[in-house]
Each structure stands twice: as C-alpha cells, then as structure tokens.
DNA sequence: CAAACACATGAGCATGTATTCATATATCGG
DNA sequence: CCGATATATGAATACATGCTCATGTGTTTG
C-alpha cells in the first residue's frame, strides 16, 4: 500500500517530470553532466527559465549541480531514477493503439 | 535523444501521476481492478472527485475502465507502467539523505 | 415505468505554476 | 579592480488545475 505521505512525496517527483521543458532538461542530463548554458542552447530555452527549472529539480534532488569555474554542470544523482527515465523514454518511442473508452466485461 | 513531442507525451503521463490523489488512485488499482466506489471509500475521496480523476487517467490510457452492471472497475492496461510504478513505490519507501546544495567539483 | 444506486459530467472558484523581464551574485581574464 | 561571462533570483502575470456542488446518464430492481 501507498500511504498519503509517500504519495505526496512520489507525486512531487512525478509533478516535476510532468512539465515538458523540465522533462527535456532532465533527459538532456541523462548521459552526461550538462552546463546550464548548454542545456538552454540545446533545448532552445532562455537561461533564466532553465535556471528556474533547474532550481526546482535540484530542490527535489532529481538533479545535482556541480560548479566548475563559471559554469555549473547538472546530472542525475539517483541511478534508480535515471534507469526509470531511460526506460520510460525508450518506452514512449514505441507505437501504441488508442482506446480510451469504457469496455464491457463479459458476464460472470 | 528525447524529441519535444515525446517530451510532451511522456510529460503528460508524469503530470497525471504528479497529483497525490491521482497517484493514490492509480496505486490502488495496481494489484486488482477496483470499482469507483471502492476507490473513493478506500482513499476517502468524494465519488465526484474520484470520477473526475479517473476520467483524466482513462483519457491518458493510464487506467482502463470495465463496466460490470452498475459498477465500473478500473485497472492498469499497460504492464510497463505497472512495473514502473511498482518499482517507484517500492523505491520511495527507502530512506535517502538530504543535499540540495550545489557542490564544488575538484580542479581539473 | 419508477425509484434507487453507481458513476459521469459541467460550471465555478480558489489556488498553483510556467514564463518573462529585470536585477543580483559569482567567477574568471586583463 | 573592472568588465565580461555564467548562473541565480525576485516580481509580475497569464494560464492551468484541483476541488466542490449541482445535475445528468446508465443500470438494476420492484
């Protein structure tokens, strides 16, 4: 069972990954640490917006920032999360059929 | 790489799991199909709110609804998602240390 | 058919949040 | 120290979203 507290905690992480730009930011740091400027350039986001998102991701420990001189590089400290994301990104590239209707179950 | 479209699609799914009540609803359907009333009772949510959330989860194909007489039972049609969630729920019960600061990397 | 039950849906509100613009902080080169 | 570069932060705003209340739809039973 999932307690309300754990649902809030886990939900907070999913909520952060629920924004497309934030998800792209995290994804861009999956294979190697990325500087803020490189992330912003790669994803075509303003440095300010990128930094705002990075702050949220850092607060939730989804990303970890390491300063090297003027630049700060971000990467995923949690290998469990990294694996989950790698997995889901791979999964989302597969085709799937569409059916959102309520189906009828056969009689018992 | 993760395209913007795929980020939107995957992000949409994470966004839905990002609400604690919705996450609890999905989690409650992990082991066996659950009727709307049972979900609402178990999680102490109003039937209306439960149904609103179920509609969103159904639209995103995170849950599938099957009618049996007056009741509608919901469960997870995607075993990939089920496994991911089972995994993350298990993970969130483990302890973890707290460090959201920017750390200093050693000189090159 | 009518009443009861289970669920779905629409409107409305209060709150949260993604983005932008302006500004501040930190680090390095000269 | 000064300017330039890189990142962070604060305020303001337009928009999204969770929730409730009221009502509608579908299904079984009398």
CATH class (in words) of the domain with range B8-90: mainly alpha
Going by pLDDT thresholds of 50, 70 and 90, the confidence category of residue B105 is low
What contacts A108, CB < 8 A, 6 or more positions away? B68
For residue range A57-81, what is the model confidence (pLDDT) as tens digits? 999 999 999 999 999 999 999 999 9
Q: By the CB < 8 Å criterion, does A4 face chain B?
A: yes
Type and span of the H or E element at A15:
helix A4-17
pLDDT at A108 > cutoff 60: no
CATH number of A13-90: 1.10.10.10
Q: By the CB < 8 Å criterion, does A82 face chain B?
A: no
Six-digit token string for B45 = 């949510």
Strand B64-68 versus strand B71-75 pairing type? antiparallel
Angle at A69 between CA A66 and CA A65, to 5 degrees: 15
The position carrying tokens 């001189």 is A69
Tell me the domain boundaries of chain A: 13-90
SS3 letters across B72-108: EEEECCCHHHHHHHHHHHHHHCCCCCCCCCCEECCCC
For residue range B33-58, what is the model confidence (pLDDT) as tens digits? 999 999 999 999 999 999 999 999 99
- Which nucleotide has its C1' atom closest to residue B72's CA? C7
B57 CB neighbours in chain A (<8 A) are none
């Amino acid at each position: 069972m999932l307690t309300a507290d754990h649902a809030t905690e886990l939900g907070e992480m999913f909520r952060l990954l629920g924004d497309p730009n934030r998800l792209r930011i995290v994804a861009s740091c999956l294979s190697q640490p990325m500087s803020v400027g490189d992330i912003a350039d790669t994803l075509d986001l303003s440095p300010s917006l990128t930094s705002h998102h990075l702050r949220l991701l850092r607060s939730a420990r989804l990303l970890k920032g390491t300063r090297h001189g003027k630049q700060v590089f971000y990467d995923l400290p949690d290998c469990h999360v990294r694996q989950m994301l790698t997995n889901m990104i791979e999964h989302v590239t597969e085709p799937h059929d569409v059916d959102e209707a309520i189906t009828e179950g056969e009689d018992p």
